């Protein structure tokens, strides 16, 4: 699923995304750390997987282990 970064705190590594259907979903510093990304900016497009407590995986296609730009 695609989403847009809604909020991001670089110091804590926590933030939220806005899905294409208008839902705001939080992500934890653990999810951000696992993404292998160093920074996110508000308005940036990302791919996500959603779990019971919000975003469970966050990535940008082409960045990170096993990712290929298509």
- pLDDT tens by residue, 24-41: 999 999 999 999 899 999
DSSP conformational letter for 30: H
Distance CA 18, CA 21 (A): 8
What is the pTM (predicted TM-score) of this model?
0.84
Q: Which of 67, 13, 70, 69 is nearest to 40 (CA)?
A: 13
Q: Which fold has domain 2-59?
A: OB fold (Dihydrolipoamide Acetyltransferase, E2P) (2.40.50)
Domain ranges of the chain: 2-59
| pLDDT per position as a tens digit, 40-65 | 999 999 999 998 888 999 998 766 56
Residue 70 has pLDDT above 70, yes or no: no
Average pLDDT value for residue range 1-12: 96
Structure tokens given for 67: 């990712």
């Amino acid at each position: 699923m695609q989403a847009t970064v809604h909020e991001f705190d670089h110091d804590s590594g926590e933030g939220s995304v806005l899905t294409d259907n208008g839902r705001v979903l939080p992500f934890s510093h653990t999810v951000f750390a696992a993404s292998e990304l160093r920074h996110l900016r508000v308005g940036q497009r990302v791919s996500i997987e959603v779990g019971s407590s919000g975003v469970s995986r966050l990535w940008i296609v082409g960045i990170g282990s096993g990712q290929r730009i298509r």
